Amino acid sequence: DTEVTQTPKHLVMGMTNKKSLKCEQHMGHRAMYWYKQKAKKPPELMFVYSYEKLSINESVPSRFSPECPNSSLLNLHLHALQPEDSALYLCASSQLPTTAGNTIYFGEGSWLTVV
């Protein structure tokens, strides 16, 4: 079963709010990812965690703060966001970090609207 579960599916937050997006996988994958996707565009990589350690930060603003509490969970903490941060946030996982071309599986995403 290749399943990545994301919650919430929809989130509306004000620019002064603090919220979190959550992601869970039980496939034993050791690499987890956060992507951001704007309308009619491909997903853009934000962060990569390999073996629960942050291995890639694609110069993402500090108002986005990732956290990997254990090998199955990935969070994205949101604070002081801007309206232009409104997008679909996708979590993904792969068996190993993709240096070996491992398949990446995506969740259904969390739709974020910043008002």
Side chain identity, residue 105: Y
- Binding positions for other proteins, 90-109, rule CB under 8 A: 90, 97-99, 101, 103-109
> How far apart are the C-alpha atoms of 33 and 103, rounded to whole Å?
12
Range 23-82, binding other proteins (CB under 8 A): 31, 40-43, 45, 48, 50, 55-56
Q: How many CB atoms lie within 10 A of CB 7?
A: 14
Beta pairing class for 87-94 and 105-106: antiparallel
Q: Which is closer to other proteins, CB of 60 or CB of 80?
A: 60
| Residues engaged in binding other proteins (CB under 8 A) | 4, 6, 31, 40-43, 45, 48, 50, 55-56, 88, 90, 97-99, 101, 103-109
